[in-house]
């Protein structure tokens, strides 16, 4: 059954994969770095946008580093 908990977990994993992908794009010489990093950036931004919606519904799912960042803003 789909839950906000499972969605939060998958989004966290997806963001980690996207971050790792960005590192690989920088290392793979056959790929153009800038346009491909921009594509990954759009994906990261979209995933965070959805993640923020989840956190509004379930603040208890918000990772501590997000809460700390928001407090220091």
Per-residue pLDDT tens over the stretch 1-17:
899 999 999 999 999 99
Residue 52, domain extent: 30-73
For residue 35, is it within any domain?
Answer: yes
Is residue 40 pLDDT above 90, yes or no? yes
Number of domains comprising the chain: 1
Percent of the chain past pLDDT 70, that is, above it, reads 100
Mean pLDDT, to the nearest integer, of 26-34? 97
The reply to whether 15 falls in a domain is no
Q: Is residue 2 part of a domain?
A: no
The verdict on residue 67 lying in a domain is: yes
Rounded to whole angstroms, what are the CA distances from 48 to 30, 44, 61, 69? 29, 6, 13, 14
Per-residue pLDDT for 36 more than 80? yes
Alpha-carbon distance values, 29 to 14, 15, 32, 59, 71 (Å):
24, 23, 7, 41, 40
**Residue 14: inside a domain:** no
Answer yes or no: is 5 within a domain: no
């Amino acid at each position: 059954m789909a839950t906000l908990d499972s969605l939060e977990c998958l989004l966290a994993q997806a963001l980690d994969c996207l971050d790792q992908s960005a590192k690989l794009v920088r290392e793979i010489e056959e790929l153009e770095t800038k346009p491909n990093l921009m594509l990954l950036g759009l994906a990261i931004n979209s995933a965070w946008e959805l993640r923020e919606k989840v956190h509004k519904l379930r603040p208890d799912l918000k990772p501590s580093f997000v809460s700390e960042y928001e407090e220091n803003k």
